[in-house]
Structure 1
Amino acid sequence: MTKRIDTTRKACIELFCGSSGSGKSYKVKSKIIKAKRLVIFDPDDEYGELANIITVTNAQALLTKLKQNPKGGLRIRYVANGEAAFNVWSKAVFAWGNCVAVAEEIAGVTSPGKAPQGWHTLVSRGRKRGITLYAVTQRPSESDKTILGNLSSIWVGRMSRAKDRKYMAAELDVHVNDLTELKALDYLERDMLSNVVMRGNSKENWQKPLDEYKAAA
């Protein structure tokens, strides 16, 4: 029997940052295409084209669907806006467990000063319940700090705001110019365990260590 709580599970929490058109949602969609238990907070209605996805637009419908599928497969997205809706979604994901969760545009529902209670719980304790978490934002400097302390990897695409480039350069431990020169679908990705930074392109489907890329340029 699968344990409900397992403290030996490794965290899989990934943050995807970039301006509109940078490829962050494209990258996330490629990661979740085969997920059998999937739940998405989708305020901008971006994930409707996914195969076998159920759409709900109110909290009660979300909670009902999750309760009806406590262990089986379910792919569902919650199209809603606002911190209250996000907090309900976060608590529901944590209770459901053993799933892949995608939180889109977290800057709109969190703040640098404080994370909503449900989100804080999901980020800090979700790994014990087998939750893989992908968080997406256009404005990382305006998002909550809770997730940054728990990440397993950071993916950063093209960013139009100098403030965000400077902020994420510090998190990636790279020079800000490494982010400034990114074009659409280019990205940098840092594995927080190995501290290796990769440079890649989502459309061309390649990546290599940043040091090697810069040496060959």
Structure 2
Amino acid sequence: MRVDTSREADIGVVCGSSGSGKSVVIKKALVKAKRAIVWDIDDEYTGPKGVPGMQRVTNMRELVTKLAKSKAGKFAYVGKVTEFESWCRAVFAWGVCTAVAEELAGVTSPGKAPPGWHTLVSRGRKRGIALIAVTQRPAESDKTIMGNASFMRVGRLARAQDRKYMASEIDVPESLLSGLKNREYIIKNMAANEYFRGVIQIPENGAKSLTAVKIKENPLTIEA
């Protein structure tokens, strides 16, 4: 695949405690994706509550084979947690896709990023890869993704350490994050320095499909 250095970076960080709605917006966005791949160790993206058309893959050899044969498709890897480095290399080789890494704190640390992950973050845009990193514990996750993010979406965070960390990352008062409820979030467009406040609306009787989930976002002014 020929690299394209003119592509804009499309790198997102999505964080929030369990139940805050981190994955709902991502799943909804993936419905329209033609090429998508998810690091899905908790097995959230397939089945009745998953993304339509998402294929569940349980071992790395199978994933590599499927990617090599597929010009389009959606794949969720639910295999061994020790295969994260191999998953990163497979994503980079496939290119031109949306790649989602769930529970990033389980496979990275605040120190140096794993080599394959560093390559995805720093060079993925040249291969047309839109990257989304998801974590419940941003203060314990890789810092490379934080420094390269195009946008950050912060939902309810239970731990004060994480609220303080993310308030600093997106430059908002910590009290703004402390007041978030489940399914509410603050999003910052890092390049444009623009903020939005969002809420995920799910019908009271539950959502039978992702199309029933509504997402509302409004501009937010942060006082200097």
Question: How far apart, in 1, do the equivalents of 2:84 and 2:173 lie?
Answer: 34
- TM-score normalised by structure 1 residue count: 0.92
Measured after TM superposition, the shift of residue 81 of structure 1 is 3.8
Contact 2:59 2:80 in 1 (8 A): no
Any idea what SS the aligned residue of 1:16 has? strand
AA partner of residue 55 (structure 1): R
- How far 1:31 moved relative to its partner? 1.4
Q: Which residue of 1 aligns with 2:206?
A: none
Could you tell me how far 1:75 is from its partner in structure 2? 0.9
213, 216, 220: which one aligns with 1:206: 216
Q: Equivalent residue for 1:149?
A: 147
* Identity in percent: 54
- After superposition, residues 66-85 of structure 1 pair within 5 angstroms as 66-69=67-70, 72-82=71-81, 84-85=82-83
- Aligned partner of 1:57 in structure 2 is 58
Q: Distance in 2 between matches of 1:108 and 1:16?
A: 15
Is the Cα contact below 8 Å between 1:124 and 1:150 reproduced in 2?
Answer: yes
Assess if the C-alpha contact under 8 Å between 1:172 and 1:197 holds in 2. no
Question: Match of 2:116, as an amino acid?
Answer: G
Residue in structure 2 matching 1:136, options 124, 134, 137: 134
Residue identity opposite 2:179 in structure 1: E
Using the TM superposition, give the Cα deviation of residue 209 of structure 1 relative to its aligned residue in structure 2, in angstroms: 2.4
Structure 2 partner of 1:113 = 111
- The alignment's C-alpha RMSD in Å is 1.3
Report the alpha carbon displacement of residue 114 of structure 1 after superposing the two structures with TM.
1.7
Whether contact under 8 Å (1:37, 1:75) holds in the other structure is: yes
2:139 counterpart letter in structure 1: S
CA deviations on 1:179-217 (whole Å, 9 max, x unpaired) are: 0000011100000111111112121632222228x9xxx
Q: Which amino acid aligns with 2:133?
A: A
State the AA in 2 paired with 1:16: V
Cα distance in 2 for residues equivalent to 1:187 and 1:81: 31
Q: 1:39 is paired with a residue of what secondary structure?
A: strand
Unpaired stretches in structure 2, ≥5 consecutive residues: 202-213
1:205 is paired with a residue whose SS is strand
Aligned length: 208
| Contact 2:55–2:75 (8 Å) recurs in 1 | yes
State the Cα deviation string for residues 86-112 of structure 1 (Å, max 9, x = none).
110000000110111111001000000
The Cα shift of 1:4 comes to 2.0
Query: Counterparts of 2:130 and 2:105 in 1: how far apart (Å)?
Result: 20
Aligned AA for 1:205? I
- Following superposition, the deviation at residue 115 of structure 1 comes to 1.1
Alpha-carbon separation, structure 1, partners of 2:129 and 2:12:
12
Contact 1:94 1:129 survives alignment (8 Å):
yes
Q: Counterpart in 2 of 1:168?
A: 166
Letter paired with 1:65: K
Q: Distance in 2 between matches of 1:210 and 1:99?
A: 30
State the AA in 2 paired with 1:116.
Answer: P
- Cα offset, 1:125, TM superposition: 0.2
Which deviations, in whole Å up to 9, do the C-alpha atoms of 1:66-99 show, x marking residues without a partner?
A: 1112xx11111110242x3111000000011011
**Aligned residue for 1:94?**
92
Could you tell me whether the CA contact under 8 Å between 2:20 and 2:184 is conserved in 1?
A: yes
Partner of 1:158: 156
Structure 1 residue runs of 4+, over 6 Å off?
A: none
AA aligned to 1:80 is G
